[in-house]
Amino acid sequence: MSRPVITTDARASGRAAAGLPRPPVPKPAGARLSGHLPRWGRDAIALLEEGARLGPVFRVRLWRPALVGYQPGWNRTILSDLDGFRSRGSMSQLSPFLRGGVIALDAPAHRPRRAQLNPTFHRQAIAPLFTGRFQDIVDRSRPQGTFDAVTWASAVVRRLLTEAFFGPGRSPALEEFLAPLDRSLPAPLLPRPLRIRRMRRVLRAALADPPPGTLLAAFAALPGPSDDAVEEARVALAAGYDTTAHTVAFALWEIAARPDLNDPDRTGAVVREALRLYPAGWIGSRVAVRDVDVEGVRVPAGHLVLYSPYLTHRDPQVWDQPDRFRPERFDRPLPAWGYLPFGAGERICLGAALATAMVQAAVRAFAGGRLRRVGGDPRPTGVLTLTPRGPLILDHRP
């Protein structure tokens, strides 16, 4: 009989049950005074990868102390216990673009609000409404010759969001509102009161007479004050922008290296694999409501806890050959709590179906053509979302 593998978590739980001292939670190298904050600003991904080599849970000191875990058991506890872990005070609230709407609500207010929004954003509502319209826009925007996938994807996603929320045409106000999300830190985190007020005015006017067949028409029908609908729409626009654009750019980069994947029958698997290897939401967070044990680690009340889809998706204990782009892996069942491109549980990203529809339309537009890499720097960088370190220059020929 093979000897069972005793994990660090099991040892910690066993020691706690026996009344023995818990082993200290490891931490990556950091500065004595400033902790890990300078490393987080320079290269958060490298910091996370170093921490993951130390164990399944490690600690970091950013602007406040935090515990980071990435294995499925950790994800399940943090993401499924809405009463034990709250969103208020977490990292998502650092950006003014995401500070509001259902994202900012905790139990018990979150559940009824989410129930009102779910039908609008369910894939059964999104697909028939937007699949054809999205494909027409992307096909007309498809570049010929050499282009930067990051720049192109950002432009086309702005057009798709305009179509989904406002209907045909351009929205200069939306482009102005989203512009800081295209810049490096700290731009996406800085207060933007004028931009946000202008966007609210535009949304309020549009919601008064929303075009049929748009998401604003659905928002306008929501019960409650009209300002609630304005805020939900504003946050949804911001949350759906750079996350989707960067996923498109990464997916096209990978397809350019494997021409066999540039096939419309494989688009779904290609998009799922791009979301695995390059999850836009590379880090997520909650705040513990009470003292709790998670995977053998004591988490004090009020402590910041982080989960990392980036680390989970690249964990060799969860995924075979995790660093390789292999869409064929999705021919098999997904590991429970091991695939989190949009989070998981009751707070799974509201816009998952919308984002997926946009990425699939963009990827499908290149099917049958010749796409090759010219140059660039695809190393993932953890900013507000996961982004390529540099441009991704591709060449497309029919």
Residue 312 CA to its chain's centroid (Å):
13
H, E, C per residue of 25-61: CCCCCCECCCECHHHHHHHHHHHHHHHHHHCCEEEEE
The whole-number pLDDT of residue 226 equals: 87
The whole-number pLDDT of residue 270 equals: 98
DSSP 377: -
The whole-number pLDDT of residue 5 equals: 29
pLDDT over threshold 90, residue 294:
yes
- Measured CA distances, 374 to 91, 92, 146 (Å): 36, 35, 8
The whole-number pLDDT of residue 16 equals: 52
Tokens encoding 156:
């086309």
User: If you average pLDDT over residues 304-308, what whole number do you get?
Assistant: 98
The whole-number pLDDT of residue 14 equals: 53
pLDDT over threshold 80, residue 19:
no
Neighbour count for residue 380 (Cβ, 10 Å)? 18
Tell me: the pLDDT tens digits for 53-89?
999 999 999 999 999 999 999 999 999 999 999 998 8
pLDDT over threshold 50, residue 292:
yes
* pLDDT class of 170 with cuts at 50, 70, 90: confident
- Residues with Cβ < 8 Å from 181, sequence gap 6 or more? 97, 187, 188, 238, 241, 242, 384
pLDDT over threshold 50, residue 367:
yes
Axis-axis angle for helices 123-141, 352-364 (nearest 10): 30
The whole-number pLDDT of residue 11 equals: 47
Domains of the chain: 94-287+311-397 (1.10.630.10)
Tell me: the pLDDT tens digits for 171-202?
899 999 999 999 988 899 999 999 999 999 99
The whole-number pLDDT of residue 23 equals: 85
Mean pLDDT, the chain, whole residue set: 93
pTM of the model: 0.93
Tell me: the pLDDT tens digits for 113-159?
999 999 999 999 999 999 999 999 999 999 999 999 999 999 999 99
Tokens encoding 264:
């419309």
The whole-number pLDDT of residue 3 equals: 29
The whole-number pLDDT of residue 15 equals: 53
* pLDDT class of 1 with cuts at 50, 70, 90: very low
